[in-house]
Structure 1
Amino acid sequence: MKFEETTIKAFIDELASNSPAPGGGSVAALCGSLAAGLEAMVANLTLGKEKYRTSWDKMHKVLEEGEKLRAEFISLMNEDTESFNLFMQALKMPKETEEQKASRKAAMGEASKAATAVPLRTLESCVKAAELSFTAAKYGNSNAVSDAGVAALLAEAAGKAASYNVKINLPGIADEAFAKECRERMEKALAEVVKHADETAKLVEAAMI
């Protein structure tokens, strides 16, 4: 299932089924894509309007980055499901002999790394999405400020969701250096996402008073 070719209903039906994938990781990336889509929308609603001429340069950047992020998050939706499937394949490898056990363990270790790396990339992309939401809220069409606010909420939710998917995989990784690096990157990115989302929320709330 390529998610960019799937209807919303088909995706939610598959999500609700007894299949373990797609799951939370793909949903996190989907939320990120929705955030980026809203940011691009705010930019499109701002560009070309004389009232916001001084913001056009910033909105061109928001639009360009938002479109890149939207595509990146959709790719991450697919990668998350693919990495989970690789782990399940490794889990099903034969384990009758010592050699088979060693091969299975190595394959599971590599699959666990992949299953951690993908949501970590999702989380780090959410930092960019949260930053864009602030720019969209501050410089975009004031009639769409609530949309920029929703983008910030989605970016934060996506980032926190992605962090869960990193955390749950870390204990299964034997490579301590890799696990340590992932945890440090996760904590740094998560703090940045929350910071940018909070800043956007304050801006949006003030604009709607």
Structure 2
Amino acid sequence: MKLENFLKELASSKPSPGGGSAAALTAATGTALLEMAARINLKRRAAPGAFSRIGALSRLRKKAVRLISRDAAAFKKVAGRLKGNKNDPRYQRALLAAAKTPLEICELTLQAAETGVHEIPRTSAWLLSDLMEGGVLLEAAFAGGRMNVEINLRSLADVGIRKAIQKKIDQLEKRMKTCQAKLKF
């Protein structure tokens, strides 16, 4: 889907795509800025691991783009079952899937941020703002993903799964905060 069409859908009165898809787009944009900085740095001077970082960022960016539609599809399944029994196993499975997609967004943003941090020492003052802006976008994508995970967890009947996912998101956030501190002035 073209960007303008996606934004038009996002702005519509339909519930999907929504915040999770927007978080995935934000993750893709932030990752693209880190990838750009890594590519420019490589043109200026080679460094150990530069090619693998660029490859990793490229894969993460493409995955974030795929998560845009995956999140929308996951929410549609939940929305299609909202009028039914909340304890119905099909509804609970749909909720779990709807929580796992934004969790993937959080994992992806963390991986991108951890990869991007390695570019800081190689980045010129002129390019540093792009690298840091990528970090800010990844931070926003993480926050959006986390909100979507937690909203879906509220209705999940299985307390054990809820606690496990909440623990995981808390651990990811701790690591993300460490990266974000490095990706700021």
Normalising to structure 2: TM-score of the pair?
A: 0.93
Q: Which residue of 1 aligns with 2:163?
A: 180
What amino acid maps onto 1:39 in structure 2? L
Contact 1:58 1:139 in 2 (8 A): no
Q: How does 1:31-180 map to 2 (within 5 A)?
A: 31-49=26-44, 52-53=45-46, 55=47, 57-92=48-83, 101=85, 105-180=88-163
Report how many aligned residue pairs link the two structures: 185
Match of 1:26 in 2: 21
> SS of the residue aligned with 2:100?
helix
- Is the CA contact (8 Å cut-off) linking 1:133 and 1:149 kept in structure 2? no
Residue aligned with 1:35, SS: helix
Percent of aligned pairs with the same residue?
26
Q: Which has the higher helix share?
A: 1
Structure with bigger RCO (C-alpha 8 Å, 6+ apart): 2
Deviates further, 136-145 or 185-194: 136-145
Greater CA deviation, 65-74 or 191-200?
A: 191-200
Q: Do the aligned partners of 1:25 and 1:165 also contact (CA within 8 Å) in 2? A: yes
Counterpart-to-counterpart distance in 2, 1:188 and 1:58: 26
Matched-pair contact (CA < 8 Å) for 1:58–1:135 = no
Q: Secondary structure at the match of 1:48?
A: helix
1:190: which partner in 2? 173
**Alignment RMSD (CA, Å):** 1.7
Aligned counterparts of 1:155 and 1:10: Cα–Cα separation in 2: 23
Q: Which has the larger radius of gyration?
A: 1
**Which 5+ residue runs of structure 2 have no aligned equivalent?**
none
Secondary structure, aligned partner of 1:173: coil
Counterpart of 1:183, as a letter, is: Q
Tell me, which stretches of 5 or more residues in structure 1 are unaligned? Answer: 1-5, 94-100
